A and B are shown apart, each in its own frame.
Chain A
Amino acid sequence: MIDSENSGSSTIDTSGEQQFTTEQFAFHGSGSDYFRIWIVNMLFTILTLGIYSAWAKVRTKRYFYGNTELAGDRFEYLASPIAILKGRLIAVAALLAYTFAGYISIAAGWITFALLLALIPLAVVQSLRFNSSNSAWRGVRFGFDGGHRQAYPPHLFWPLFGVATLGFGLPFAWYKINRFQYDHYRFGTTRSTSSATVRGFYGIGISVFAATIVIFMLAIVLMFSIGILTAMIGGGESQLPAEVEATLAVFPGFLFVYASVAAIYQAMFYNLVFNNIEFGGNRLRNSISIEYVLLILSNTFLIVVTLGFFYPWAAVRRARYLMANIRLEARQLDSFAAGEFDHISAQGEEIGEAFDLGLGF
């Protein structure tokens, strides 16, 4: 098997009612390899006026899946670029319709917005189906069995309820979304189940809210002191327009707050969700720590100072950290049976991406 020397630790635990071995996930990609892929993707995408972006996406995902290892074998991404291209064209059309409708009349803007909102649950389901059924491990595909109608309460009603209650209902919406998604994934014919609780999601909501306030205040103090310092040093008239200057001054603080809050939220979310998933008796275990926030902050800083060129290394560092902190308590991994595989259009996934719904398995 591939890279069997890296296949992670296998410790036997006999304390439970049934024996299991611990299988560590691992990411083997390198920043310089991904840099090659990334830059060539970008070049071809520009040269083909965006058409190649579907092929680019498949190559990127193949690289990240193909370098993620569990129990000696790598994951596989099998999607067809043509399916993604079709979805991408529809998504761009929807994006433009949404942009222009608001200029024609305020009513048209709202109607388009409402229409797109009503389509989100459908897009989410398509996206989950497409992504999962094009992901495989040991030659067996994943899948998603959630229905379109079932997606409406978690992906439309409960988030709107969350907004209507000024955010107090939002963790409950996260809980509903999590249940809908992780109770309907399957590997071959085996369903996943999630046991994350409402309480857990409220814990995240409260912690993230508190962290946001603290970090925001920290950023203001920081920027204020930087402002005083530069005023003392500089003071000369600047040649830049004030709008640009103001953007440049506020941007670092904003980015700092945004990146740290996003990282804290992600870390807590991954821990809660991935610690509560089971596939036919095999349990995931996730243990991301505060280190993750430092990683994201340093990635963001390096991406900014290199004008974006650090991105491939940042993406690889992140994947490596995440995979180093997730493992599987495996009871049996050899006897998952494949189901019949179905072909799903990529459209849902592309709409999800163009509107940044932040979907992902």
Chain B
Amino acid sequence: MNEVRGTWFDGDRSKGSSARLHWSASAVTVIADEGLSLSVDREELQVSSPLPGTPTRITFGGKESFVTGDGAGVERLRESLALNPGLAGRVERHMPVVLAAAALVVAMLAGLAFRGVPALAARLAVTVPEEISAQVSGVLMSQLDVFLEPSSIAPERREELERYFLSHGEVATIEFREAGIFGANAVTLGATMIAFSDELVELAESDEELLAVYFHELGHARLRHVEQNVFRASAWLVMLAVLTGDIGAVGELLVGLPLSVGLAANSREFEREADAFAVDRLIEAGLSPMHLATILQKLEAYHLRRRDQENSTDDGDSGQTPDAGGEEGSTSYSPLDYLSSHPPTEERVAYARSRMNEFE
């Protein structure tokens, strides 16, 4: 039967009339129950793409429309007029295909998160000119300075350390600050800036230990980890905006969870790379990789001690050592917040030890 029943709207007034749409090889006609009959041009005929369980809207090049909930009838119309239901319409129809699509979506999202986005970020990070990077470092440092005090270490001692570090690998700026509640720490703020806290300088018992920390940070700087993280976060943001545009606020909150877990995982991987870089450089300089292990162990003991003190004084409040980066946690690095984004100290010490054979 070349006919489908539905409702006819003239597009002028909000009143529909019961009608049927009739088609043959040569003509399409709409016949309203009230007697109106309208022949329409097949070329102008537009049938909305099929959506499961949703009425179909047919227009004829003007403001008039014919709406029908008769899915089977529309199916016959599509067939006899050779109308394309569209790819989405065809895929949605078959549940096994839909389930395969679901599996594919999960696999591709994981692929994007763990491979695609990091690879893209790594490629983009190396294209950032050093001047831009220095500018970013300046902004991050000024944001950090809100929480920090000027260094109280004697200027001569600072200059001595700076000269010592720079003789092993140049970076534009080395900063020293009194970190207060953040304690012993060091951060990389881009490709050209590394900052040490006074507390860290005091904690180290030899300059070689500080050099090991410097090499670790230099690893972050040279491998462009800060820039990579900026690009990763931006890529995530765009991805989430595009994928969850229709989900709304609670949905965004939900995708925010894997995001924060993902960023923590990223930073662990960056820490391992920076440790490897530091060990390479120590060996190159004819120094033992164990200098890195020593300072890492001291830092762990130091922060555990601080945590216990905090717990016994304010009774409660999580003893977690904040990253000196504060809110910028994902864009700056320290070897110290091993409690969070860093691999366990034991593992890092074992790594340094495993490379002792290269040093002799």
A residues bordering B, Cβ < 8 Å? 1-3, 28-30, 33, 35-37, 39-47, 50, 53, 55-57, 59-60, 62-63, 66-67, 73-74, 76, 88, 91-92, 95-96, 99-100, 102-106, 109, 137-140, 187-188, 241-244, 246-247, 251, 255, 258-259, 262, 296, 300, 303-304, 308-309, 311, 333-338, 353-354, 356, 358
Task: Give the bracket for the number of chain B residues in contact with chain A.
Answer: 35 or more
User: In the bound complex, do residue B245 and residue A338 qualify as a contact, i.e. CB atoms below 8 Å apart?
Assistant: no
Q: A243 to B20: give the CA distance in the assembly, Å.
A: 64
User: In the bound complex, do residue A57 and residue B246 qualify as a contact, i.e. CB atoms below 8 Å apart?
Assistant: yes
For the complex, is B81 an interface residue (Cβ under 8 Å from A)? Answer: no
User: In the bound complex, do residue A106 and residue B9 qualify as a contact, i.e. CB atoms below 8 Å apart?
Assistant: no
Cβ of B268 to closest chain A Cβ, rounded Å: 7
Which residues, 296 to 329 on B, are CB-close (under 8 Å) to A? 318, 320
User: In the bound complex, do residue B238 and residue A304 qualify as a contact, i.e. CB atoms below 8 Å apart?
Assistant: no
If the complex has contacts A28-B53, A46-B109, A106-B142, are A140 and B249 also in contact, measured as CB distance less than 8 A? Answer: no
Contacts of B245 in A (CB 8 A): 53, 57, 353-354
Contacts of A258 in B (CB 8 A): 250, 253
Contacts of A53 in B (CB 8 A): 242-243, 245
Q: A304 to B136: give the CA distance in the assembly, Å.
A: 37
Which residues, 154 to 194 on B, are CB-close (under 8 Å) to A? none
Cβ of B91 to closest chain A Cβ, rounded Å: 5
Which residues, 250 to 266 on B, are CB-close (under 8 Å) to A? 250-255, 257, 260-261, 264
Contacts of B48 in A (CB 8 A): 62
For the complex, is B356 an interface residue (Cβ under 8 Å from A)? Answer: no
A-B Cβ contacts below 8 A, count: 205
User: Which residue from chain B places its CB closest to the CB of A107 in the assembled complex?
Assistant: B139
Interface of A is mostly: helix
Q: A107 to B342: give the CA distance in the assembly, Å.
A: 33
User: In the bound complex, do residue B15 and residue A356 qualify as a contact, i.e. CB atoms below 8 Å apart?
Assistant: no
**Which stretch, B64-72, B205-213, B276-284, touches the partner chain A?**
B64-72
Q: A333 to B260: give the CA distance in the assembly, Å.
A: 51
Contacts of A50 in B (CB 8 A): 238-239, 242
For the complex, is B45 an interface residue (Cβ under 8 Å from A)? Answer: no
User: In the bound complex, do residue B52 and residue A1 qualify as a contact, i.e. CB atoms below 8 Å apart?
Assistant: no
Contacts of B108 in A (CB 8 A): 43, 46-47
User: Which residue from chain B places its CB closest to the CB of A335 in the assembled complex?
Assistant: B13
Contacts of B109 in A (CB 8 A): 46
User: Which residue from chain A places its CB closest to the CB of B135 in the assembled complex?
Assistant: A104
User: Which residue from chain A places its CB closest to the CB of B329 in the assembled complex?
Assistant: A243
If the complex has contacts A42-B105, A138-B16, A139-B64, are A104 and B139 also in contact, measured as CB distance less than 8 A? Answer: yes
Among B6, B101, B264, which residue has its beta carbon within 8 angstroms of that of A241?
Answer: B264
